[in-house]
Chain A
Amino acid sequence: MRRGLFSWVTVVLVMQVILAGCAEVVSVGTTVGQQMGQISKEDKQKIDRMALDSEKAARPMTEQEEYYVGRAVAATILGKYRLYRNERLTRYINEVGQAVALASDRPFTYGGYRFAVLDTDEVNALACPGGIVFITRGMLKRAQNEEELSAILAHEVGHVNHKDGLGTIQRARWVQVVTLLGSEAAKKVSGAELAKLVSLFEGSVNDVVKTLIVSGYSREQEAAADSSAMTFMYRAGYDPYGLSDYLGKLSKEQTGGAGQGLFATHPGMTERLAKARSVIAANKWPRIGHQIRDQRFQQTMG
């Protein structure tokens, strides 16, 4: 009986840890269980230990940690590409970017969303974890109006919402970071621990950079970012067709073999276009007029 009881009590408590993320609650439960004579002292310690372990292993990266990873990713990218300095343009893309970010599922991140232009003809846009978004001049040049610009930025905001960047960090690295952390809250990290943490940090940053610049996300992640982008655009009052229009343009270029930079990390434009069109059809989104915004786009970019 004792054994059978131990197993179901354990299952309930550990499930609650996963749900509630609180080993302390389990400890209260096991204390009562022990007082009632239903579980032994050893069992209580075992369950408490399991609860604490699973809580620690399950700790996700905090928003603050995401921010620091994102800053390092951005610092790496800004070491490879030149930052394009144009006050008027920078302000404009930040206004468009904020309009779609506020309409996203995650309008607030630790450090907020920021949008910047990279001075290169390569065609690409990159989202660092936490909300720093880069768009190249090559990519900007291909945007015909504010709707298309908002589509590019909303797509990157989608990656930030989905935490796709963080997802590229090898799981083993994060497990090591969590393992390094002692359970004693006030304890300071030692020099050796700090060196190890820095090396794990560097590895994590490199995982993200490699995906952003070399390997790219999966087709599923790109499709999900497209779908979210159109939702954010629609909520913000932009015409979601801006995304399919832009993809249509890139799809034509890709078939023609131009624009190598982007297509290494963003394959299958035609497939993405088809998926985007099906999302529009499923939502029955109408075309939204954008003359007023076309004008200010021309004034800023023209």
Chain B
Amino acid sequence: MNRKSWIILLGLLMMTSMAMAAAVKVITQEAMIRKDKRFFAPVVTRVPYGEMVEELERQGDWLRVSYRGKQGWIHTSAVQEQKFRLSSLTTEKAQETSREEVALAGKGFTPEVEKAFRDQNPKMRYDLVDQVQSYKIEDQQIQAFIQAGNLREPGGGS
């Protein structure tokens, strides 16, 4: 490999790493941005699935992020790292790209597929699944349970 080739290689590598700026995509139905990097910290704002949030800082399993002018902490398991062109990151284009990606990913196993599958299999107990899905424990309740049982509050920044 000659000198010129090496320069191109280096250039390509630099360009690629520059393109990987910090924006992450929410991958849960609804993610909470919290005041502190703790599971039960007060909720600053809620972010729906597929939205992009800007990563400002990383500490252990928590990211400090900005979303629609609000800042707070989000757990890394609720987001997925995305690589975008630096130029489009802070503009509306980032959101647009994100929506396109959601649409593309949305062409796999979608709510539409579930609906068609349910229509074909009327005996499946989706009614009971919805019931199980409703067994949601609120933050306060789980926190009280942890304290009363002398358990440890998880996720304190590690």
Interfacial residues, chain A to chain B (CB-CB below 8 A):
4-5, 8-9, 12-13, 16, 20-22, 24-25, 28-29, 32-33, 36, 38, 59, 61-65, 67-69, 71-72, 74-76, 78-79, 83, 90-91, 94-95, 98-99, 102-103, 105-112, 114-116, 132, 146, 177-178, 180-182, 185-187, 189, 194-195, 197-198, 201-202, 204, 235-238, 292-293, 296
Q: Besides the contacts A68-B111, A236-B154, what 17 more A-B pairs have beta carbons closer than 8 Å?
A: A13-B12, A25-B19, A25-B85, A64-B27, A64-B105, A71-B114, A74-B129, A74-B132, A75-B126, A78-B129, A98-B142, A99-B146, A194-B113, A194-B116, A201-B114, A238-B151, A293-B151
Given known A-B contacts A25-B15, A95-B141, A107-B154, A201 and B125 have beta carbons under 8 A apart: no
**B97 to chain A: closest CB distance in Å?**
9
Number of chain B residues close to chain A: CB under 8 A: 65
Given known A-B contacts A22-B19, A108-B77, A8 and B113 have beta carbons under 8 A apart: no
Task: Tell me the dominant secondary structure on chain A's binding face.
Answer: helix
Residues of A within 8 A of B34 (CB): none
A173 to B110, alpha carbons, bound, how many Å? Answer: 16
The answer to whether A95 and B142 touch across the interface, beta carbons within 8 angstroms, is: yes
B57 interface residue (CB < 8 Å to A): no
Contact of A102 among B39, B78, B103 (CB under 8 A): B39
Interfacial residues, chain B to chain A (CB-CB below 8 A):
1, 4-5, 8-9, 11-13, 15-16, 19-20, 27-29, 31, 39, 49, 75, 77-78, 80, 83, 85, 100-101, 103-114, 116-117, 120-121, 123-126, 128-129, 131-133, 135-137, 141-142, 145-146, 148-152, 154-155
**A33 to chain B: closest CB distance in Å?**
7
The answer to whether A198 and B135 touch across the interface, beta carbons within 8 angstroms, is: no
Contact of B131 among A4, A83, A105, A185 (CB under 8 A): A83
